[in-house]
């Protein structure tokens, strides 16, 4: 619409803290996901209200109609497709094993046998760890957010953690949490923006259209490069 006050406001769920995709700088939200959803909203003439919450609470909040959209470094998975519709992919990620910097005995997933492995609730990393647990026998310890999970390994309470590659490499580059990545990326996956399944066709159409325009006009690259460099 022409009038700002008549624009539809959508409630957008983001992870509490997941740099470089979302984080708070003072009172201001920043990150690739934040800039992207703001740019899409501007391009498609709607408004958003950000709601930061534990990642594991985001899909349940959508199902309870407390959120219209989620952009939270959320990987597109078949499990999730049963309850949400995803936009076209907007970022390549994938999981990796992370240990304390001075750890020299964990070099691959197989070395996790019998170890304590920290994960974040509701994530693809948690699912990977649970599947590995039933094959190998590992002890999976769950956390609500990434900083708590990182700390568990840096303080030696857990032997390893599973995190998205772009997130842990950004953390290591930015503030050296005393952690290191081991082995190859465990999978390839892609982030998508989610809306509740079958109930938000219009909104999903706008998100996909906005995303396509931002990719075409260079805004998408500009946003990503502003956090990750060229
Ligand atoms: N990409 C992972 C997932 O979708 C982790 C997301 C997150 O921790 N915000 O489960």
Q: What is the CATH number of the domain that holds 145?
A: 3.40.190.10
Instruction: Establish whether residue 55 lines the binding site of ligand 1, counting it when its CB lies within 6 angstroms of any ligand atom.
Output: yes
Are residues 17 and 57 located together in one domain of the fold?
yes
Are residues 103 and 143 located together in one domain of the fold?
yes
Provide the domain limits for residue 214: 4-91+191-228
Ligand 1 pocket test: pick from 59, 72, 122 the residue with the most ligand atoms within 8 Å of its Cβ. 72
- Cα–Cα distance for residue pair 97/165, rounded to 1 Å: 9
Q: Which atom of ligand 1 is nearest to the CA of 191?
A: 1
Closest CA to 99 of 86, 115, 87: 115
- Cα–Cα distance for residue pair 93/211, rounded to 1 Å: 18
Distance 198 CA to ligand 1 centre (A): 22
Contacts of 147 (CB under 8 A, 6+ apart): 17
Work out the number of other CB atoms within 10 angstroms of the CB of residue 209: 13
So what's the pLDDT on residue 6?
83
Are residues 122 and 12 located together in one domain of the fold?
no
Distance 222 CA to ligand 1 centre (A): 23
Domain closes at, from 182, 199, 214: 182
Distance 130 CA to ligand 1 centre (A): 15
- Cα–Cα distance for residue pair 119/115, rounded to 1 Å: 13
So what's the pLDDT on residue 65?
96
Are residues 31 and 86 located together in one domain of the fold?
yes
Are residues 85 and 100 located together in one domain of the fold?
no
So what's the pLDDT on residue 72?
98
Are residues 168 and 217 located together in one domain of the fold?
no
Are residues 166 and 219 located together in one domain of the fold?
no
Instruction: Establish whether residue 73 lines the binding site of ligand 1, counting it when its CB lies within 6 angstroms of any ligand atom.
Output: yes
**pLDDT tens across the length of the chain (230 residues):** 455 568 999 999 999 999 999 999 999 999 999 999 999 999 999 999 999 999 999 999 999 999 999 999 999 999 999 999 999 999 999 999 999 999 999 999 999 999 999 999 999 999 999 999 889 999 999 999 999 999 999 999 999 999 999 999 999 999 889 999 999 899 999 999 999 999 899 999 999 999 999 999 999 999 999 999 96
Instruction: Establish whether residue 72 lines the binding site of ligand 1, counting it when its CB lies within 6 angstroms of any ligand atom.
Output: yes
Instruction: Establish whether residue 162 lines the binding site of ligand 1, counting it when its CB lies within 6 angstroms of any ligand atom.
Output: no
Q: Which helix (H) or strand (E) holds 137?
A: none
Are residues 101 and 133 located together in one domain of the fold?
yes
Distance 161 CA to ligand 1 centre (A): 13
So what's the pLDDT on residue 146?
97
- Cα–Cα distance for residue pair 34/21, rounded to 1 Å: 7
Are residues 72 and 107 located together in one domain of the fold?
no
Are residues 84 and 110 located together in one domain of the fold?
no
So what's the pLDDT on residue 230?
64
For this complex, say whether ipTM is above 0.85: yes
Are residues 98 and 178 located together in one domain of the fold?
yes
Instruction: Establish whether residue 74 lines the binding site of ligand 1, counting it when its CB lies within 6 angstroms of any ligand atom.
Output: yes
Are residues 199 and 155 located together in one domain of the fold?
no
As for how many domains the chain has, the answer is 2
CB burial of 152-188 (b: ≥16 within 10 Å; e: otherwise) equals bbbeeebbbbbbbbbbbbbbbeeeebebeebeeebee
* DSSP labels, 49-96: EEEEE-HHHHHHHHHTTS-SEE-SSPBP-HHHHTTEEE-S--EE--EE
């Amino acid at each position: 619409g022409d009038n700002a006050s008549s624009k539809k406001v959508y409630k957008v769920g983001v992870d509490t803290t997941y740099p470089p995709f979302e984080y708070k700088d003072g009172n201001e939200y920043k990150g690739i996901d934040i800039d992207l959803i703001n740019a899409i909203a501007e391009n498609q003439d709607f408004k958003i209200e950000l709601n930061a919450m534990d990642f594991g609470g985001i899909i349940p909040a959508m199902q309870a109609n407390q959120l219209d959209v989620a952009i939270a470094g959320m990987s597109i998975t078949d499990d999730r497709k049963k309850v949400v519709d995803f936009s076209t992919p907007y970022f390549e990620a994938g999981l990796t094993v992370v240990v304390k910097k001075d750890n020299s005995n964990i070099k691959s997933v197989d070395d996790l046998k019998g170890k304590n492995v920290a994960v974040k609730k509701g994530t693809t990393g948690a699912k990977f760890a649970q599947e590995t647990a039933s094959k190998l026998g590992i002890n999976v310890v769950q956390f609500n957010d990434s900083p708590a999970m990182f700390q568990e390994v840096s303080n030696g309470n857990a032997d390893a953690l599973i995190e998205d590659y772009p997130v842990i490499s950004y953390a290591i580059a930015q503030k050296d949490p005393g952690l290191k990545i081991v082995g190859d990326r465990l999978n390839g996956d892609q982030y998508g923006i989610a809306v509740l399944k079958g109930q938000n066709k219009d909104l999903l159409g706008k998100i996909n259209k906005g995303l396509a325009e931002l990719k075409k006009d260079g805004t998408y690259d500009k946003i990503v490069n502003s956090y990750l460099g060229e």
